[in-house]
Structure 1
């Protein structure tokens, strides 16, 4: 049986509809991933109001080349979501205009860099299609299979967002965040052990007053991650007897919804830098073999696997690693 690709122009409309639906789904995926309450099929109305200001339904329909009922249906969705409002035209009270609400203006401000990333990615794909329309569509379809558009746009968005993450030192006002982030992480993957509760409840006593340090990741004025450098009282950690000044990289936790911003890597870089400045002999960490992404991160940062400690403080720990540098 022949595929619609093999049948050529006869099913051009089907292929364009399929590609259109795929692109809409990709944008919906982006909005869902970024926790944005918006459907891609409503975006054009929102975008035109953002670009042109208050407009009538007929005017929007003409701009988009769609019917008045189609625009009315999209507008009702945006009205229900609270992003737009209907109001009288100052020049003609018989005429109704659509305009952005404060929530809509805030949303479009959030969407503006994402829209720019969409434009860049789609222009790149169109530029790569240097042949006739059918081949161009096939090219676009293959590009979509190879790298979904949502992934490409999210990569750009996350790279931009990652540059806005700040790593800051401990401050008393963030003590609750230190405990909150770690409890959140522990309860998701394991459970809170007695040693965890002790250290998290009194970080100054058990970390800071013992030559340790605590770092936080701040993003959009929110504390979204933390990690600590803890002076260790373990003995016999290394076969090298000269390594007596030991530190542990510990208590790293990142809020789940921000885990695509490379926050863990930035926190580890801060802790490793602090370790070097401390003049320490050995930096180690303990983890669990279930945490594959975390172990890959540790390995990429210069940690190597060593035999498990016999005197670990943590019941959950079945992995022991030492820092050797990149």
Structure 2
């Protein structure tokens, strides 16, 4: 016997908005990871905003990178360890202040960003935009519509259909 369990977070409305946004973010990130993997990118999806920021803005300090992507410095520092281990970024000290570490894309990192721009980012953007097409009305209704759209047709499926 299968019982439909009420989605309490959805039903609580504004009271659980933070949890709901986090859940949608996690869904989008997991589905993005799937699309990236299908296109031959094995790096964590969470690294790509950092790579994009370094591509757009050039070498940055950890604090500047944190500001550019809107996540805390400890989160950026953790990701940077992986990015450095993978050889995607390089760091050195700033000319003007030797205490400040500057992070920049390595040659390998620039290549990865270019391949991402060619093979992954446009299709991911199009799939997310398509999932958002039906959003109308108040924020909670929009979140419900987006959650439903991602559940009915994950990003990977949208990408496959768009490519067909």
Instruction: Using structure 2 for the length normalisation, give the TM-score.
Output: 0.86
Alignment check: 8 A CA contact 2:35 2:155 kept: no
Deviations 1:40-77 (A, max 9, x none): 11111111011111111100111222211111111111
Which structure dedicates a bigger proportion of its chain to strand?
1
Q: 1:8 aligns with which of 13, 36, 40?
A: 13
| Distance (Å, rounded) in 1 between the aligned partners of 2:50 and 2:160 | 22
Corresponding residue for 1:142? 148
| Distance (Å, rounded) in 2 between the aligned partners of 1:59 and 1:6 | 38
Deviations 1:104-127 (A, max 9, x none): 111111101321222233233334
Alignment check: 8 A CA contact 2:35 2:124 kept: no
Deviations 1:227-266 (A, max 9, x none): xxxxxxxxxxxxxxxxxxxxxxxxxxxxxxxxxxxxxxxx
Which structure dedicates a bigger proportion of its chain to helix?
2
- Give 1:153 deviation, angstroms: 3.0
| Distance (Å, rounded) in 1 between the aligned partners of 2:36 and 2:132 | 23
| Distance (Å, rounded) in 2 between the aligned partners of 1:84 and 1:64 | 16
Pairwise mapping of residues 1-326 of structure 1 onto structure 2 (< 5 A)? 2-4=6-8, 5-113=10-118, 114-156=120-162, 158=163
| Distance (Å, rounded) in 2 between the aligned partners of 1:34 and 1:125 | 20
Name structure 2 gaps, 5 residues minimum.
Answer: none
Alignment check: 8 A CA contact 2:54 2:60 kept: yes
Alignment check: 8 A CA contact 1:30 1:154 kept: no
| Distance (Å, rounded) in 1 between the aligned partners of 2:62 and 2:135 | 35
Q: Which has the higher contact order (CA 8 A, sep 6+)?
A: 2
- Give 1:133 deviation, angstroms: 0.7
Q: What is the alpha-carbon root mean square deviation over aligned residues? A: 1.9
- Give 1:154 deviation, angstroms: 4.7
| Distance (Å, rounded) in 1 between the aligned partners of 2:157 and 2:7 | 27
Aligned residues: 158
| Distance (Å, rounded) in 2 between the aligned partners of 1:63 and 1:100 | 15
Deviations 1:133-159 (A, max 9, x none): 111011001111221012223554x56
| Distance (Å, rounded) in 1 between the aligned partners of 2:137 and 2:38 | 34
Instruction: Using structure 1 for the length normalisation, give the TM-score.
Output: 0.45
SS at match of 1:40: coil
Name structure 1 gaps, 5 residues minimum.
Answer: 160-326
Alignment check: 8 A CA contact 1:86 1:98 kept: yes
Alignment check: 8 A CA contact 2:131 2:150 kept: no
| Distance (Å, rounded) in 2 between the aligned partners of 1:155 and 1:107 | 25
